[in-house]
Amino acid sequence: MSKPSVVVDGVSKKFGLSLKSALKYGLIDSCRRMVGLNSDHRLRPGEFWALQDVSFSLEPGDALGIMGVNGSGKTTLLRILNGTYSPDAGKVTLRGRIGALIAAGAGFSPMLSGRENIYISGTLLGMTPREIRSRFDEIVSFAGLGDFIDMPVRNYSSGMSVRLGFAIAVIGTPEILLVDEVLAVGDISFQKKCFERILALKKQGTTILLVSHAIGSIWAVCNKGLFMNKGQPAVMGDIESVCKTYDEQNSRNAQFALAKEQETTPAQLSEEPEGSCVPNESLPAEYGHGRGGTGDVLCTRIRVLSAGTGEETKEVEFGEPFIIEYQYIVRNRITDPIFRSSFDAVHYKFIVSLDSYEQGCTWNVIEPGNYTLRVKLDSQTLRPGLYGINTSVISKGIGVHLFYWLSAASFVVRQPRDRFLYSNEQAVCFFPARMDLTRT
């Protein structure tokens, strides 16, 4: 049985919050090492954990996709594996030649030509001069630099630098390949070459660690996944499970940010005694606000409820029926009322419209008082993601809004447990379909 090619055991890394604290503690730790002492593993004032207690093991041929929001420690982990950083705690064991592409043009000398940098970088990766010469034309061809190979690297675009760095890293057939957010560089043809080369290395037994925010890229290459959250390994397992966790966490983060933004808007309207017709001065009587209307009716609260339990929730399962509950105060008698809501997705506005008249629900007159409206969605096919709710009340014979409220509430649709929806993060609906492929 072969030994693991990558073993990360309890790795932690901390940094100073300011340049002053970083220099101070760096000097202290250097002095400790000079006298034979280990670095201080405690978190000192002015420091934070960029990584904390990360552990995993990879066999030859494994491909690990590392995901997480910005600042979760992904790049720090790769830099420790590449030897750029040393861990403050824990141990890293790597078996085999390492190829790494962590930043565009990293390690290149800008004053030297692309040709000269190929020899320097290849040597640093453990390739012999003879091996570099034998693969030189292949590297240049893969990078697509042609006549620009003898031009100083400082004159390269970021895309040219990444292509050259990637070509050097993968043409040398490394046993371990570290890649950080570079598969989206270049045109479609070059991206295709990148994926084909990575998959070929994987079949040959190269261990791959890929950092990316693109779920499709991670899913295409990797068989294992690691989701990082605030420097800690939140979830590790099969790639589809980890991709689902990452996607749902992004939706929750967006929902939290939306809630924080709404805290800056005026507080919710308070309920008043039944039949009260006192004008509400806090409700704008014009458009262009987050909430407004004539004041004849107010929506004081919106809740998303589970259709199964009837309890309030912020998340619903994919395809799960759910209920939206509205609390209204009707101040003045309304004829032919229409209750309308719409959903916003992250990328689009008003993707769904729920209109009481369209749904065949009509009322002739609503007298002043307090009312509760429940709208049940029995067959929703919203794709996983965050959705906002807008609501309004109008009267069929009046061409203005009696009440409107934008971004009144939100909910998250979770990833389904029996399938993996990854194809297009901007799509908002899933249509069940049958597919039949025949040769003609």
Q: What is the CATH classification number for the domain harbouring 195?
A: 3.40.50.300
Do residue 272 and residue 173 come from a single domain? no
Between CA 200 and CA 141 the distance in angstroms is 17
> What distance in Å separates the CA atoms of residue 23 and residue 30, rounded to the nearest whole number?
10
Same domain for 34 and 141? yes
- Give the list of residues 6+ apart from residue 205 with CB closer than 8 angstroms, or none: 60, 61, 175
Q: For residue 199, with 0-12 CB atoms within 10 Å meaning exposed, 13-18 middle and 19 or more buried, which class applies?
A: middle
259 within some domain: no
Q: How many domains are contained in the chain?
A: 2
Question: Digits of tens for pLDDT over the chain (440 positions)?
Answer: 678 999 999 999 988 888 888 788 778 877 877 887 776 677 788 888 899 999 999 999 999 999 998 888 998 999 999 888 888 889 999 998 888 777 655 678 889 999 999 998 888 877 888 988 998 999 999 888 888 999 998 898 878 888 888 888 888 778 999 988 766 666 778 888 888 888 999 999 999 999 988 888 899 899 999 999 988 888 999 999 999 999 999 899 888 888 877 665 544 444 443 323 344 446 788 888 889 999 899 999 999 999 999 999 999 999 999 999 999 999 999 999 999 999 999 889 999 999 999 999 999 999 999 999 999 999 899 999 999 999 999 999 888 899 999 999 999 999 998 889 988 888 999 999 999 999 98
Whether 420 is in a domain gets the answer no
CB burial of 14-39 (b: ≥16 within 10 Å; e: otherwise) equals bbbeeeeeeeebeeebeeeeeeeeeb
Which residue has tokens 């006298």? 35
Q: Report the pLDDT value the prediction gives residue 182, as an integer from 0 to 100.
A: 65
Q: Indicate whether 56 belongs to any domain.
A: yes
Domain endpoint, select from 197, 218, 253: 253
Check whether residue 110 and residue 177 sit in a common domain: yes
> What is this structure's pTM?
0.80
Tokens of 41: 């593993």
Q: Which residue carries 């959705």 as its tokens?
A: 387
Residues in the chain: 440
For residues 64-81, one letter each, b for 16 or more C-beta atoms within 10 angstroms of the residue's C-beta and e for the rest, the string is: bbbbbeeebbbbbbbbbb
Same domain, 87 and 230: yes
Q: For 24, how many CA atoms within 13 A lie in the half-sphere containing its CB?
A: 10
- Does residue 206 fall inside a structural domain? yes
Q: Give the contacts of 173 (CB within 8 A, at least 6 positions apart).
A: 97, 201, 204, 206
How far is the C-alpha of 221 from the C-alpha of 208, rounded, in Å?
9
Q: Is residue 430 part of a domain?
A: no
Which pLDDT does position 270 carry in this prediction?
42
Answer for the pair 374, 307: CB distance below 8 angstroms, yes or no. no
Whether residues 272 and 246 fall in one domain: no
Q: Are 219 and 315 contained in the same domain?
A: no
Strand 63-67 to strand 224-229: parallel, antiparallel, or no bridges (unpaired)?
parallel
Flag whether 434 is in a domain.
Answer: no
Amino acid at 304: V
* Identity at 189, one-letter amino acid code: S
Distance between CA atoms of 41 and 52, rounded to whole angstroms? 11
> Is residue 162 exposed (0-12), middle (13-18) or buried (19+ Cβ within 10 Å)?
buried
Distance CA 324, CA 340 (A): 12
Q: In angstroms, rounded to a whole number, what is the distance separating the alpha carbons of residues 55 and 238?
A: 16
Supply the range of the domain harboring residue 373. 267-413
To which residue do tokens 């309308």 refer? 340
| Distance of alpha carbon 171 from alpha carbon 126, whole angstroms | 12
So what's the pLDDT on residue 269?
45
Q: Flag whether 82 is in a domain.
A: yes
Domain end position, chosen among 253, 281, 305: 253
Q: Which amino acid is at 194?
A: C
Does residue 337 lie in a domain region?
Answer: yes
Q: Give how far the C-alpha of residue 210 lies from the chain's centroid of Cα atoms, to the nearest Å.
A: 15
Q: Are residues 36 and 77 in the same domain?
A: yes
Which structure tokens are listed for 154?
A: 């400082």
* 320 and 222 together in one domain: no
Nearest to 297 by CA among 336, 342, 264, 244: 336
Co-location of 198 and 343 in the same domain: no
